[in-house]
Structure 1
């Protein structure tokens, strides 16, 4: 009896030891055993961080500059993690339209998205400042602010809405395009115009005498084609790649907004990462910015050339003052709400 008791106890102890060996203590990542040699003196197999796979949603086509920026970010993350972290990029609204995707990122169902700050404004009010018309003089002025301490603070503030702001991407200037000819702000009056789904854009169209029609980006082409809307507004690449120029053949270069894009991650997903992996994600996002901006410039030029060659009526705006005067009530309405940010933006004017 004694001998049997001793054998049973020994077996139990060995099994307990094997169980404990399999439960490595992690540092925030799921751990898995590797085949590496045991650390000196421990007698235990060395554990390795588990491979991670995430999804990144984008509304634009695969060769669009923001998607190219997404892919560069994913490539850098993969390199910096020695292939351990993989980010699959889903362009062309494969995971849903922008607002629906942002909701999923907020919940943690999708880990990353690249989205217009105009859309994010519905989830994080401070981002609405970028939808205000004519707050930036040009690209140089915009990027002086975006790369400043104040611009970074605005990006960091997304955590309050359960996002982690990683980087700003370029999106150029936005201009109106219509089925009808346009020569000035007076031609906006009475037109049904698609806008990004936020209050400031609705107020902007109202100030110009138009009828704002919020709708998902993917619905704009058919709505223009069928006359559900008369006009929309966007930058050169979007006007081109969406084929909107084939159904709204009048483009006026009023440059009423410079609305940057934002690359962001679900805070729920980010908080589960180790400190090392958080650093990799943030560094890779920042390092992807110069590449994305360069790709934007090249694509913008190509889009303009394509649209002009297609015979679209392009109207240059030599004096933006009438436009600025027409939308001044929008600035006045929101000035108190965005005073600190607007003051910071003014600081970076020439």
Structure 2
């Protein structure tokens, strides 16, 4: 009798485990997308669009969870977390990848691209696409470029020619290229967290900063900076990135569907970025809180002449062929 009961119990347990296993196998895969900005930014809009597209097309297979405003990780920790499997997608600024590859420092070079059209041409070229795979040996794969926009210079004094920046302190992201860029005009670059910039400007601990129109407007930098020089001297873009182990471990059909949804979401986000740049520039001018300085061709040429030697300084690290290919995108 005891043996019969034991056998029945064992059979019931096995059946229960089998049912649980089947239910577990039927559960959708969860993809955590971590980023550091608000949901109404181009990056935030793109992440939510990706979540919506996946829900529409793959709801029974995949669920995307979006964590904005550094709810999970900041840009300084998210790549490490990704390699540990704690998050599957992120979109840090291109400057944040210096520990993993020298190639992406290309995008920090001053006056390399004339406008976002040139950036698009290069990023969609075979060379630009190949750069996204430059971190595979470090366990990361780039899946797509996302725009924020071209950078402008804000300051406590008018900046028309490079000599006007001499002796001033500018906040920068952690980037050796950006450091060299400001040193080239005899200014002092200071690496500070983005979250501290408004207070540093307000208290005059720094004299200026470089950023896109959308960041200058959304973070209210224009309220504490009397001058903004429309320099378009650099690029602030992001790279949507994932773990090589995670991405390569997906079934081919699932990976293909996810990439298609992501490409569509990135295109949507890039559209938003362009519109937002124009709208936020107009809003700053309308506020009359900050004077927008438009450089003459002669003035801009002086900035280019002063900062262009930075290209040569980092040519060996980045690759002269990459720099030449990126610059050629301006002429197409």
TM-score, normalised via structure 1 length: 0.85
Unaligned runs of 5+ in 2: none
- Partner Cα distance (1:133, 1:330) in 2: 8
328, 332, 335: which one aligns with 2:308: 328
1:156 aligns with 2:136: no
Shift of the alpha carbon at 1:201?
0.8
- Partner Cα distance (1:158, 1:151) in 2: 14
Shift of the alpha carbon at 1:62?
1.7
1:342 aligns with 2:323: yes
Q: Which secondary structure state, in structure 2, belongs to the residue aligned with residue 219 of structure 1?
A: helix
- Partner Cα distance (2:272, 2:316) in 1: 36
Q: Which secondary structure state, in structure 2, belongs to the residue aligned with residue 173 of structure 1?
A: strand
Q: Which secondary structure state, in structure 1, belongs to the residue aligned with residue 228 of structure 2?
A: strand
Unaligned runs of 5+ in 1: 24-31, 35-46
Shift of the alpha carbon at 1:184?
1.9
Shift of the alpha carbon at 1:322?
0.8
1:218 aligns with 2:166: no
Structure 1's 210 and 218: CA in aligned 2 closer, same or farther, altered over 3 A? same
Structure 1's 250 and 83: CA in aligned 2 closer, same or farther, altered over 3 A? farther
Shift of the alpha carbon at 1:255?
1.1
Structure 1's 4 and 96: CA in aligned 2 closer, same or farther, altered over 3 A? closer
**Structure ID, larger Rg:** 1
Native 8 Å contact 2:211 2:236 kept in 1: no
Quote the residue 1:33 is aligned against. 22
Quote the residue 2:102 is aligned against. 125
Structure 1's 223 and 83: CA in aligned 2 closer, same or farther, altered over 3 A? farther
1:94-122, Cα deviation, whole Å (9 max, x unpaired): 33432233333343322221221012233
Q: Which secondary structure state, in structure 2, belongs to the residue aligned with residue 53 of structure 1?
A: strand
Shift of the alpha carbon at 1:323?
1.0
1:174 aligns with 2:151: yes
235, 241, 248: which one aligns with 2:212: 235
- Partner Cα distance (1:13, 1:227) in 2: 73
Which structure 2 residues correspond to residues 107-122 of structure 1 after superposition, within 5 A?
107-122=84-99
Quote the residue 2:260 is aligned against. 283
- Partner Cα distance (1:279, 1:225) in 2: 47
Quote the residue 2:78 is aligned against. 101
Shift of the alpha carbon at 1:190?
0.7
Quote the residue 2:295 is aligned against. 317
Structure 1's 122 and 332: CA in aligned 2 closer, same or farther, altered over 3 A? same
Native 8 Å contact 1:98 1:115 kept in 2: yes
Native 8 Å contact 2:230 2:294 kept in 1: yes
Shift of the alpha carbon at 1:154?
0.6
Q: Which secondary structure state, in structure 1, belongs to the residue aligned with residue 111 of structure 2?
A: coil
- Partner Cα distance (2:19, 2:22) in 1: 8
Native 8 Å contact 2:28 2:59 kept in 1: no
- Partner Cα distance (2:13, 2:68) in 1: 49
Structure 1's 68 and 327: CA in aligned 2 closer, same or farther, altered over 3 A? same
RMSD of aligned residue pairs (Cα, Å):
2.5
Native 8 Å contact 1:167 1:262 kept in 2: yes
- Partner Cα distance (2:135, 2:143) in 1: 10
Shift of the alpha carbon at 1:309?
1.2
Quote the residue 1:26 is aligned against. none
Q: Which secondary structure state, in structure 1, belongs to the residue aligned with residue 154 of structure 2?
A: strand
TM-score, normalised via structure 2 length: 0.89
Native 8 Å contact 2:111 2:308 kept in 1: no
Quote the residue 2:49 is aligned against. 72
- Partner Cα distance (2:210, 2:55) in 1: 36
